[in-house]
Chains A and B, each alone.
Chain A
Amino acid sequence: MALTKDDVRHVAKLARLHLTDEELDRFTGQLGSIFHHLDTLAEVDTDGVEETAQVNGLVNVDRDDPVLPSLDREDVLKTSERENERGMIKVRKSI
Chain B
Amino acid sequence: MDRTIKVLSEKLRSGKLSSVELTEQCLKAIEEQNGKLNAFISVNREGALTMAKKADEMIAKGEGNELTGIPLGVKDNFCELGVESTACSNVLKGFKPPYEGTVLRKLRGLGAVFIGHTNTDEFTMGGSTETSRFGTSRNPLDPKRTPGGSSGGSAAAVAAGMVPWALGTDTGGSIRQPASFCGLTGLKVTYGRVSRYGVMSMASSLDTIGPITQTPEDAAIVLKVIAGHDPMDATTPQQEVEDYPAELNKEVKGITIGVPKEYLDGLEPEVRKVFDETVKRAKKLGAKIQEISLPMTKYGLAVYYVICPSEVSANMARYDGLRFGPKSDAPNLVESYFESRTKGFGDEVKRRIIIGTYALSAGYYDAYYKKALKVRTLIVNDFKKAFESVDVIFTPTTPNIAFVTGSKGSDPIQMYLEDVMTVPASVAGVPAISIPSGELKGMPLGLQIIGQHFGEGRILQVAHRLS
Contacts and interface: CB of A to CB of B under 8 A. Distances in A.
Contacts of A30: 351, 410-412
Given A11-B358, A14-B361, A49-B378, A78 B98 contact: yes
A53 B341 CA distance: 28
Nearest to A74: B98
B237 interface: yes
B332 interface: yes
A35 to B, nearest CB: 8
Contacts of B95: 79
Contact of A79 (B98, B306, B317, B361): B98
Nearest to B98: A75
A82 B235 CA distance: 34
B98 A71 contact: yes
Contacts of B327: 80-82
Given A37-B305, A79-B96, A17 B367 contact: no
A13 to B, nearest CB: 9
B370 interface: yes
B376 A38 contact: no
A48 B305 CA distance: 23
A2 interface: no
B324 to A, nearest CB: 5
B205 interface: yes
Contacts of B368: 38, 41
Contacts, number: 173
B71 interface: no
B429 A56 contact: yes
Contacts of B16: none
A87 interface: no
Interface string B188-200: 0011100000000
A1 B367 contact: yes
A67 to B, nearest CB: 14
A15 B301 CA distance: 24
Interface in B229-264: 231, 234-235, 237
B237 A51 contact: no
Contact of A49 (B322, B374, B428): B374
Contact of A51 (B361, B370, B410): B370
Given A52-B380, A56-B453, A31 B354 contact: yes
B226 interface: no
In this complex, the interface size class of chain A, counting residues with CB under 8 Å from chain B, is 35 or more
Given A53-B373, A72-B98, A41 B341 contact: no
A11 B326 CA distance: 24
A27 B339 CA distance: 19
A40 B410 contact: no
A42 B333 CA distance: 40
Q: Please indicate which of the listed interface residues A17, A27, A52, A79 has the most CB atoms of chain B within 10 Å of its own CB.
A: A52
Nearest to A49: B374
Contact of B341 (A17, A44, A51): A17
Contacts of A46: 371, 374-375, 378
Given A55-B428, A58-B235, A16 B334 contact: yes
Contacts of B353: 15, 17
Interface in B321-375: 322-327, 330-334, 336-339, 341-342, 345, 347, 350-351, 353-355, 357-359, 361, 364, 367-368, 370-375
Interface of B: 94-99, 190-192, 205, 231, 234-235, 237, 296, 298-299, 301-303, 305-306, 313, 316-317, 322-327, 330-334, 336-339, 341-342, 345, 347, 350-351, 353-355, 357-359, 361, 364, 367-368, 370-378, 380, 410-413, 416, 428-429, 453
Interface of A: 1, 3, 7-8, 11-12, 14-19, 23, 26-27, 30-31, 33-35, 37-38, 40-42, 44, 46, 49-58, 61, 63, 71-72, 75-76, 78-82, 89, 91-94
- List 6 A-B pairs, minimum CB-CB distance, nearest first: A55-B429, A51-B373, A46-B374, A75-B98, A81-B327, A94-B333
Given A17-B342, A75-B98, A80-B327, 17 more contacts: A3-B358, A7-B358, A8-B354, A17-B338, A33-B413, A38-B302, A38-B305, A38-B368, A40-B298, A40-B299, A44-B299, A58-B192, A61-B234, A76-B98, A79-B98, A89-B322, A93-B333
